[in-house]
Structure 1
Amino acid sequence: MTKTTASLQHRLRVFQRSDKLPAIKGIRRGIERESLRITPEGQLAHTPHPHVLGSALSHAHITTDFSESLMEFITPVSDSVETLLAQLSDIHRYTVRHLAGEQLWPLSMPCLLRNDEHIPLAQYGSSNVGRMKTLYRQGLHHRYGSSMQVISGVHFNFSMPDSFWVEWHELEGNGRYLQDFVSEAYLGLIRNFYRYGWLIPYLFGASPALCGSFLQGREHKLPFERLGKGTLYLPYATSLRMSDLGYTNNAQAGLNISLSSLDKYVDSLRRAIGTHAPEFARIGVKVDGEYRQLNDNVLQIENELYAPIRPKRTAESGEKPSEALEARGVEYIEVRSVDVNPFSAVGIEAEQIRFLDTFLLWCLLTPSAPLDEEEIALNRRNFTKVVLEGRKPGLMLEQSAGEAMPLALLGEQYFGELAEVAELLDACCGRGCYGKAHAQQLAAMRDPELTLSAKVLHELKQRNTDILPFGLELSRRYNAHFTSIIPRYWDDNYFDEEGARSQARQRKLEGSDTVSFDDFLKDYFAQ
């Protein structure tokens, strides 16, 4: 038994004690699900964000991401999986009923696209804050192209309850302030996520194929095979969304954001924001009186960092994310490597959430040494292998000291430890649900044909069809589902009132600006 395993085992034994077990109860989660608005024919909708849904700038649950057509649904934080999914379902239900003939695209990779210029940027009104949000997206358009920005995902926010932190701090705090201990532990979780996080696209990647329109004018070296009239796929891919084609942007590969401590993380993030980038300078910041991007630095703002996981702290009004982290420490972590599950009407299922609980708690309790540059590069290579060919028989993943092990064997080892964490969660609050979720994913670990990506490819090949009709069929099915069900948590009155409140908040913002947009930006970046 290794030292790392022994320490994990010790921590598990401690929390299995009857006086410690209740401290685990109350894991808090939130979900942000993205989905494109489309026409009934499967093309990107070019209509404005529906006014009846409220203000995309200030609505609590229904907003937009990069594009006016890319919707984002946000749940509150909840300690109940059932409540979380009920809320997410009600957000979808209300939205679908107010789309005026449009539908929601059920896949991570986009629907039929024309070109970047036909992807409308999200609009947030005339306030300085709203204009800055749109300009940031204008910068993304010029830097990376708009097609990459309309890929959809599911962001999973996770935090352990205060009771857990009090108990663990008492055991291992060693005189540190509680919040410092919490922040260090969450950063340890993130480091382990980089080591073992290839499991997430392997299991939950659902984008092995894409519409050929996505690659118009884009250079790539991937050996795509063709299906139907215009669908491209890689036979063993799990998540093209997380490849260099999509969410994981190669332009940021050399950023070297430190995860060794919170101070170093914040410092390295700010350094990236303040570092001049010659390739972006060629775009220009303000040309002929019109802004093209917020600045010509490596990152315009902190949100531009493309990372599969982030430390987070709820920011106060006008506060930057790094300022919130620096002032009050890490509050929760955000996992960004989960594809939209096309076989779920809301993009994610209860079993996935419970496995994510198990996996993240395992990453948290497993001792986590600092990451050096060599290990960072190794982890990145392994992750890339899995997203491009994760289901390939006999696939080998690199280990330290130049060794390699079969993915299947590594998975078996990890799932052995994950089983103990699932057992701990069931003993506390799972009623067998965590064991069931573990068994489901263990089966997929052993048989790649049970993964989401394999199921998507199986559907396409069995029907010999393109991604477009496959997505449209699911979209129509979910559209019918949401127009027929009754609310589970919030009724229509709640959303009607929140929509009106959000529009009032936007009008208030627009009426309260006291400086020009130029001065607003100068003040923002001078802080």
Structure 2
Amino acid sequence: MTTHDLTTTLNALATQYPNAIKGIQRGIEREALRIKPTGIIANTSHPKGVGNALTNSHITTDFSESLLEFITPVSTSAEETLAQLKDLQKYTFEQMGDELLWPISMPCFIEHQDDIVLAQFGDSNIGKMKTLYREGLKNRYGSMMQAIAGVHFNISFPEQLWRSLQSIKGDVGDLGAFTSASYLALIRNFKRELWLISYLFGASPALCGSFLQGRSTDLPFKKLGKGTLYLAVGTALRLGNLGYTNSAQSSLRVMYNSLEDYVAGLKQAINTPSDLYGDMDDYKSAQPKQLNKNILQIENEFYSPIRPKRNAQSGETPTDALLRGGIEYIEIRALDVNPFSETGINLEQIRFLDVFLTYCLLKQSPDMDWQEQKVSTENLDIVVNEGRNIDVMLTQQGSQVSLKQWAQDIFQQLVAVADYMDKAYDTHHYSDTIAELSSWVSQPDKTLSGRYIQALTADNVDNGQFALALAAKYKQSHQQSNYQFYSVAELTSQASLSQQAAAEILANDVKSFTQFLDDYFAT
């Protein structure tokens, strides 16, 4: 296979396959805590009107009963995806009484982690497995970490792009293998420059002091109002050591140089007994505290800002699905909830991600050893804690470079990618987005975290007050808006069908819970 740099590949696409990029597919998963009008976490059950959390594919729960998750279907239109997300949230508001949705990533005031009720999925074997998995997360890492909300962005590129790239690069092998290898190349480049996502879209530079639950921290927090802690130039506490991380997983060497490497790394973790959790009872005990005693209970426990994915068949694990059919799409897990968008993510972010992920795909992507993965994590930590000091230094290929210089270099390359995409889609949105966001590099107050801290400090307002005011504003906006994609009848039907589906699953259970898990873990 010949080697192509970004410019050569873009030129070849532009001249030979100008429309190959058309048909990008996306889906969004947005998490949000249900809260009482006072700003305290809701302790009510999942709203019955939205259906069954086990079987409703569009409105469900994540870790806790109060952590809602809205999941859009796959679409080639970013505008349609946001309309779907808004409709799902509007419908849910109508089933929630006076409750609100917390509009930021870091959780509201929570007095004690026992106030966070584990998500309940019913009495079927698969439902009980889901809840026990969450019991394990609670006992391993604590519930506070699991109360953090995020936005997951799923993307897949059209087959015509894969065929075009395969031709340009002179690859004569299997298209599926080429596609999987190319997605892994994207992932490696994304990990190298993930810090830029945190700089631009990190939106969790502050938290309620209750989140620490008495834990000490070395972070240089400043205090505001009654109990707000914030990092003056920080970006995304959710992605840092206080957030959705797992120090116990730091020893896991999951690599992204081949699909076999990636799967082998994960399978080792889910089959290796843990020194930390070996004393906790598992599903074979009368009162289990976790699914099993391994480093990872199941693959979903692996915390990564980006994952290769394939839709699994019934009873199939995520890694077995990947081995069967290769990588189908990529899940970006590094996005904070955008406080300045009533849907938690906006069109500008989607357009930037389209361009950035295409850039990560098209540029050269050498194999990434463990040391380079560690460096990428260190760069992210620096930006999480002090990213709006744009003169801060990062490590690039063994040398020190300022965040500002590296970001400007990336944006110069994004301009060409955006131009190609604009011509294919007959628009100017991509170039406009890159032009606007490039100005954020030298003006950190334009970033989401910059705007966030300005909003708090300008009026000396508590983080909780700020978020609660937004929550009330967004609920009112949803109530006053019209449905754009779904109808009430469609969403009500989905809810009803999900209840029927859950009942059928329970009725079809023939194994004991222990036998069910014996069989699941034997595969």
- TM-score range normalised by the length of the shorter chain: over 0.9
Distance in 2, Cα, partners of 1:390 & 1:336: 19
Give 1:525's aligned residue. Answer: 521
Question: Residues 187-266 of structure 1 correspond to what in structure 2 (within 5 A)?
Answer: 187-266=184-263
Give 1:97's aligned residue. Answer: 94
- Superposition deviation, residue 413 in structure 1: 0.4
Question: In structure 2, which of residues 24, 27, 31 is the aligned counterpart of residue 27 of structure 1?
Answer: 24
* TM-score, L = length of structure 2: 0.98
Give 1:434's aligned residue. Answer: 430
- Residue 312 of structure 1 contacts residue 321 of structure 1 at CA under 8 Å; is this kept in 2? yes
Question: Residues 444-483 of structure 1 correspond to what in structure 2 (within 5 A)?
Answer: 444-483=440-479
Residue 515 in structure 1 maps to residue 488 in structure 2? no
Distance in 1, Cα, partners of 2:283 & 2:130: 16
Letter in 1 for 2:477: H
494-503 or 112-121, which moves further after superposition? 112-121
Q: Structure 1, residues 236-273: CA drift from partner, whole Å, max 9, x if none? A: 11000000111122221110101110011111110000
* Secondary structure, aligned partner of 2:391: coil
- Superposition deviation, residue 288 in structure 1: 6.5
Distance in 1, Cα, partners of 2:419 & 2:236: 29
Residue 85 in structure 1 maps to residue 82 in structure 2? yes
Q: Structure 1, residues 131-190: CA drift from partner, whole Å, max 9, x if none? A: 000000000000000000010000000110111112112222522100000000000000
- Superposition deviation, residue 283 in structure 1: 2.5
Gaps of 5+ in 1: none
Gaps of 5+ in 2: none
Give 1:59's aligned residue. Answer: 56
* Secondary structure, aligned partner of 1:520: helix
Distance in 1, Cα, partners of 2:18 & 2:189: 24
Question: In structure 2, which of residues 419, 423, 426 is the aligned counterpart of residue 423 of structure 1?
Answer: 419
- Superposition deviation, residue 98 in structure 1: 1.4
Give 1:141's aligned residue. Answer: 138
Distance in 1, Cα, partners of 2:91 & 2:126: 27
- Residue 202 of structure 1 contacts residue 391 of structure 1 at CA under 8 Å; is this kept in 2? yes
Question: In structure 1, which of residues 476, 482, 489 is the aligned counterpart of residue 485 of structure 2?
Answer: 489
Letter in 2 for 1:342: P
64-73 or 242-251, which moves further after superposition? 242-251
- How many residues of Structure 1 are paired with residues of Structure 2 in the alignment? 522
* Secondary structure, aligned partner of 2:439: helix
> Cα 1:430–1:457, aligned 2, differ >3 Å: closer, same or farther?
farther
The percent of aligned pairs where both chains have the same amino acid is: 47
**In angstroms, what is the RMSD of aligned CA positions?**
1.3
Distance in 2, Cα, partners of 1:372 & 1:127: 43
Distance in 2, Cα, partners of 1:458 & 1:161: 41
* Secondary structure, aligned partner of 2:27: strand
Q: Structure 1, residues 324-350: CA drift from partner, whole Å, max 9, x if none? A: 000000000000001100000000110
Question: In structure 2, which of residues 99, 106, 115 is the aligned counterpart of residue 118 of structure 1?
Answer: 115
* Secondary structure, aligned partner of 2:28: strand
- Residue 390 of structure 2 contacts residue 403 of structure 2 at CA under 8 Å; is this kept in 1? no
Letter in 1 for 2:51: G
* Secondary structure, aligned partner of 1:222: coil
275-284 or 81-90, which moves further after superposition? 275-284
Q: Structure 1, residues 376-425: CA drift from partner, whole Å, max 9, x if none? A: 11111101101111011410001223x20110000110000011111111
Q: Structure 1, residues 462-518: CA drift from partner, whole Å, max 9, x if none? A: 110101110010000000001111110101001000000000000000000011001
Distance in 2, Cα, partners of 1:405 & 1:386: 13
Question: Residues 143-182 of structure 1 correspond to what in structure 2 (within 5 A)?
Answer: 143-172=140-169, 174-182=171-179
Question: In structure 1, which of residues 373, 376, 391 is the aligned counterpart of residue 388 of structure 2?
Answer: 391
Letter in 2 for 1:141: K
Residue 10 in structure 1 maps to residue 8 in structure 2? yes
